């Protein structure tokens, strides 16, 4: 994280100091001219510029998040190039304009004073807005290249705070800084950082399919250098240089650095002051506006001036030599971890994987193949999974962290649309027993799915019989019997909760709610169980409700005939163990679905019965992977069952949710929430993995 903070710190310091100096000069000019009453106009423009910069950053983030993976690479690469252009222009402009910045701003303020408040607001907005937009773009690019936002955000924040402190010190005349030299030397460092951003941006464009040469590597040091080591991480975080780079990246990096740095250093000489030192940008104190004098710049005699090529060469050569020394001293890539190849080729999958040391290790997984792949660290004998990465695009590298125990380990590469390949196994000695995920295949879920489909088929047959009985009650005019049979039928349907996703439009017809309908409970589209509930408990007659019951029977019959042919995704089974009770907590235990019967707790019990049935068919798979989890969940189910049973009266009635006392309601919600929390790992535990 901290290695990613330095570039952002530098840009925050540079841009913050530029913007701060401009604001200070604006304020000092108004104070000097006796126009302190117009300071709010300056702050209005400044705040508007800050808002624009924040909005720009939000737009970049939102736009990238809603693009496909390939489009994100192309979008990010394009913006990286724009950021490099902005930074390059900024360092040259500030080197050239630093000495005259104060007088230029004063002239603009003086002109704006004669044109009204709007012009002064616009002047401050434009002066600060450019810095803000540059900062937002560069920080977004830096965060994207780092793969995380914390380090860059902290670095930028520290830089901006330090810049604000320096500007305050200059304004109050407690500091004297040679700003020309400051902007010159930080500009040189920024050029080096921008060269790395350019290289990273071009790599993004290659991965996005915009530029060719994505697999034409100038060098690949992953076999001898650990991409996850501290020195590789530091170099990548600061300079965006990686252990594997394409020819396009390398040529662009060296060309940009050589040309831009040479022009920048040459400009330092041609713009050096001759006879007398010029003043630094003027920052006046409020009480007594005076210039902050710059330290004199002295030009070396011709015979002492170093060659122009020396500085850019040193900036490239010195870090390279230091990196070589560090690598030599550290012994290159450690055996415990390193960069591992991912590929559809049997000879490439797992290349670079040596016998790791026990304990937590981070491997840099680099896709050297031509297809997006999944990769798993497995025990080849049992298929137990110790770590995994999904969707690793060609040419990209992502870290995989796993805890290594004793036993055999191998890498399994699963390319999209291809067959899985497994690397040669290594044996780790001395490690402790480590928990692993036993993968689940579609075949493993076939038997539970068949059992549950049979349960739903039988339940739908029972439901048809019960709704026909309700229909007969209404046609016979027996509203009391209809109320009793309505509850029986509705609870039967509620116990089939895991199949809702396959019921398609039938669920809305059979159990839809009035929420969202234009006319609410009076809407013609309101049908099914809840429509009958509303009518039965709001005094509507049998003649009015009989057509609704007829339609309900027709829909239930249609569902029973359609269900055997409907697709039931096997991955829905583990998901529904959690989702059924999520709906229970959201709708039933809040009373939101009550249309007068007060039977929400009965429905909650039926939902719980559906969840229990799911756990029964999935029990062998869960037991083999986490027996302690199953014990915990069964205890939670029993606790919630006991609480619901307490609300069930001897005469068959149920206490309405809104009539529960506070402690009882809190217990119900707490028990349901605890059960949901303990059920949450099941979808991941039983996720279908291609390594199986």
The H or E element that residue 426 is part of is strand 426-428
Q: What is the pLDDT of residues 405-456, one digit of tens each?
A: 888 999 999 998 888 899 999 998 876 777 777 888 888 899 999 999 899 9
Is pLDDT larger for residue 310 or for residue 535?
Answer: 535
Describe the crossing of helices 5-32 and 39-65 by its angle, rounded to 10 degrees: 160
Beta pairing class for 339-342 and 359-367: parallel
Alpha-carbon span 106 to 104, nearest angstrom:
5
Question: What secondary structure letter does DSSP report for 436?
Answer: -
Q: What is the pLDDT of residues 240-286, one digit of tens each?
A: 677 778 888 889 999 998 898 888 887 665 555 444 444 444 444 33
Q: Quick one: pLDDT at residue 324?
A: 54
pLDDT band per the 50, 70, 90 thresholds, residue 675? very high
Neighbours of 433 (CB within 10 A): 8
Question: Among 284-288, 340-344, 465-469, 532-536, which stretch is predicted with the lowest mean pLDDT?
Answer: 284-288
Q: Taken in order 549, 554, 559, 560, is the CA torsion positive or negative?
A: positive
Q: Starting from the edge strand earliest in sequence, which strands make up the sheet with 359-367, in order?
A: 339-342, 359-367, 397-404
Tokens of 132: 């803000």
Residue 50 has pLDDT above 50, yes or no: yes
Q: Taken in order 240, 241, 244, 246, is the CA torsion positive or negative?
A: positive
Longest dimension (CA), the chain: 116
Q: Quick one: pLDDT at residue 64?
A: 58
**Class of the 339-428 domain?**
mainly beta
**Could you tell me the CA-to-CA distances from 96 to 92, 101, 270, 273 in Å, in that order?**
6, 9, 10, 12
Cβ–Cβ under 8 Å, residues 603 and 441: no
pTM (2 decimals)? 0.50
Is pLDDT larger for residue 650 or for residue 225?
Answer: 650
Residue 87 has pLDDT above 90, yes or no: no
- Domain ranges in the chain are 2-316, 339-428, 442-685
- For the ranges 230-234, 365-369, 567-571, the maximum mean pLDDT occurs at 365-369
Q: Is 644 exposed, middle or buried (0-12, 13-18, 19+ CB in 10 A)?
A: buried
Architecture of domain 442-685: Up-down Bundle (1.20)
Task: Summarize the confidence of residues 228-235 as an average pLDDT.
Answer: 62
Q: Which residue has the tokens 């039983």?
A: 686
- CB-based contacts of 666: which residues, under 8 Å, 6+ apart? none
Q: Residue 17: which of 25, 5, 29, 7 has the closest Cα?
A: 25
Q: Taken in order 658, 661, 662, 666, is the CA torsion positive or negative?
A: negative
Virtual torsion, Cα 487, 493, 496, 498, nearest 10 deg: -110
- DSSP notation for 103-170: HHHHHHHHHHHTT-HHHHHHHHHHHHHHHHHHHHHHHHHHHHHHT-SHHHHHHHHHHHHHHHHHHHHH
């Amino acid at each position: 994280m901290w290695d990613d903070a330095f570039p952002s710190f530098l840009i925050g310091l540079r841009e913050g100091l530029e913007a701060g100096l401009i604001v200070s000069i604006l304020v000092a000019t108004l104070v000097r001219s006796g126009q302190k009453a117009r300071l709010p106009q300056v702050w209005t423009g400044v705040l508007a510029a800050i808002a624009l910069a924040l909005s720009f950053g939000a737009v970049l983030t939102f736009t990238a998040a809603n693009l496909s993976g390939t489009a994100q690479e192309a979008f990010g690469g394009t913006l990286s190039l724009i950021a490099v252009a902005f930074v390059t222009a900024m360092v040259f402009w500030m080197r050239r304009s630093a000495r005259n910045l104060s007088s230029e701003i004063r002239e603009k303020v003086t002109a704006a004073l004669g044109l009204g408040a709007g012009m002064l607001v616009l002047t401050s907005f434009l002066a600060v807005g450019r810095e803000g937009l540059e900062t937002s773009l560069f920080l977004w690019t830096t965060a994207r290249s780092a793969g995380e936002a914390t380090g860059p955000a902290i670095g930028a924040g520290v830089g901006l705070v330090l810049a604000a402190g320096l500007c305050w010190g200059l304004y109050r005349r407690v500091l004297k800084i040679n700003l020309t030299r400051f902007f010159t030397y930080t500009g040189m460092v920024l050029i080096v950082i921008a060269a790395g951003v350019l290289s990273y941006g071009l790599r993004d464009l290659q991965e996005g399919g915009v530029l060719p040469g994505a697999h034409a590597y100038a060098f690949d040091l992953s076999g001898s250098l650990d991409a996850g080591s501290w020195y590789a991480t530091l170099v990548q975080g600061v300079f965006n240089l990686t252990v594997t780079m394409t020819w396009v990246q390398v040529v662009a990096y060296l060309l940009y650095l050589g040309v831009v740095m040479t022009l920048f250093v040459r400009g330092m000489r041609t713009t050096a002051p001759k006879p007398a030192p010029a003043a630094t940008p003027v920052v006046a104190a409020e009480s007594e506006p005076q210039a902050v004098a710059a330290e004199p710049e002295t030009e070396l005699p011709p015979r002492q001036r170093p060659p122009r090529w020396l500085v850019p060469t040193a900036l490239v050569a010195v870090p390279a030599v230091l990196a070589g020394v560090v690598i030599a001293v550290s012994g290159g890539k450690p055996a415990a971890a390193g960069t591992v190849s991912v590929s559809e080729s049997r000879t490439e999958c797992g290349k670079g994987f040596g016998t790791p040391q026990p304990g937590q290790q981070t491997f840099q997984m680099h896709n050297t193949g031509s297809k997006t792949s999944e990769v798993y660290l497995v025990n080849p004998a049992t298929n137990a999974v110790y770590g995994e990465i999904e969707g690793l695009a060609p040419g990209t590298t992502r870290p995989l962290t796993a805890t290594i125990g004793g036993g055999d380990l191998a890498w399994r590469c699963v390319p999209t649309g291809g067959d899985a390949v497994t690397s040669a196994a290594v044996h780790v000695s001395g490690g402790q027993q480590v928990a692993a995920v036993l993968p689940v295949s579609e075949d493993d879920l076939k038997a539970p799915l068949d059992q549950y489909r049979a349960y739903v088929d039988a339940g739908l047959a029972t439901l048809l019989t019960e709704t026909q009985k309700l229909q007969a009650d209404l046609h016979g005019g027996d509203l009391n019997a209809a109320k009793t049979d309505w509850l029986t039928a509705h609870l039967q349907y509620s116990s089939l909760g895991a199949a809702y996703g396959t019921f398609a439009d039938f669920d809305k017809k059979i159990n839809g709610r009035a929420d969202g309908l234009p006319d609410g409970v009076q809407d013609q589209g309101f049908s099914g169980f809840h429509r009958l509930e509303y009518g039965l408990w709001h005094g509507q007659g049998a003649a009015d409700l009989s057509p609704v019951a007829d339609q309900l029977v027709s829909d239930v019959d249609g569902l029973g005939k359609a269900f055997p042919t409907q697709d039931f995704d096997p991955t829905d089974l583990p998901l529904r163990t959690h989702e059924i009770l999520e709906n229970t907590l959201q709708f039933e235990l809040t009373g939101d679905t009550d249309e007068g019967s007060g039977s929400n707790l009965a429905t909650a019990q039926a939902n719980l019965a559906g969840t229990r049935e799911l756990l029964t068919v999935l029990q062998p798979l869960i037991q083999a992977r986490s027996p302690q989890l199953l014990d915990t969940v069964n205890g939670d189910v029993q606790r919630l069952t006991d609480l619901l049973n307490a609300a069930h009266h001897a005469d068959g009635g149920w206490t309405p949710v809104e009539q529960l006392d506070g402690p009882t309601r809190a217990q119900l919600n707490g028990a349901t929430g605890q059960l949901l929390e303990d059920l949450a790992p099941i979808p991941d535990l039983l996720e279908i993995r291609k390594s199986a």
